[in-house]
Structure formats: C-alpha cells, structure tokens
C-alpha cells in the first residue's frame, strides 16, 4: 500500500538584514532561522516575526525554503537618511 503524502503547511517569516527585509516560506520558526543562517533565536529577541499580509507572502510562497530579500527603502532614501545623520 502506498503511503499518503502529507502536504506541509508553509508559514512566511521576516527579519531585517541590513537594508533589506528577508522573507522565507518554511514550516517552522526553526526552519526560518536555519534558512537565514541565524545563530540565535531572532524571534525571542523580537527581531523576526510571522507574516500574515497576503501581498508580502506572495513571493516567498512561490519559492519555498529560499530567502527572498526586499529592499526596505530606495537607494535615494538610504542616501538621504545618511546625509541627515
């Protein structure tokens, strides 16, 4: 008798990496930390979170397990912020 394949429910998680948000679609927080290469629990530090916004979830769900980096602002906005500081 063939085994039934179980569909794994993916969740999308986000953390900040430099000037980018890093999204990943994986089944668990532990898997997200592994995908990001994190050495500490970013969730317990408040530096990572589960994403529920459908627009933000779209790209990561198309490439499960792969980190999708999205700029947090435009290059012009980054340079402008540097000049102000």
**Average pLDDT by consecutive 10-residue portion of the chain (85 residues)?**
73 95 98 98 98 97 97 80 75
- 4 occurs within a structural domain: no
- 3 occurs within a structural domain: no
Q: What angle (nearest 5°) sits at the alpha carbon of residue 56, between those of residues 16 and 54?
A: 145
- 16 occurs within a structural domain: yes
- 15 occurs within a structural domain: yes
Query: What integer pLDDT is reported at residue 59 of this predicted model?
Result: 97
Give how many domains the chain has, as a whole number.
1
- 1 occurs within a structural domain: no
Query: What integer pLDDT is reported at residue 45 of this predicted model?
Result: 98
- 25 occurs within a structural domain: yes
Query: What integer pLDDT is reported at residue 19 of this predicted model?
Result: 87
Calculate the CA dihedral of residues 19, 23, 28, 33 and round it to 10 degrees: -30
- 24 occurs within a structural domain: yes
Query: What integer pLDDT is reported at residue 3 of this predicted model?
Result: 64
Query: What integer pLDDT is reported at residue 85 of this predicted model?
Result: 67
Domain that holds residue 19: 11-84
């Amino acid at each position: 008798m063939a085994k039934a394949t179980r569909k794994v429910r993916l969740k999308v998680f986000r953390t900040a990496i430099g000037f980018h948000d890093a999204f990943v679609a994986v089944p668990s927080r532990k898997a997200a930390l592994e995908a990001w290469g994190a050495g500490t629990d970013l969730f317990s530090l408040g530096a990572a979170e589960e994403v529920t916004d459908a627009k933000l979830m779209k790209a990561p769900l198309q490439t499960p397990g792969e980190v999708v980096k999205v700029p947090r602002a435009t290059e012009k906005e980054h340079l402008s912020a540097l000049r102000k500081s």
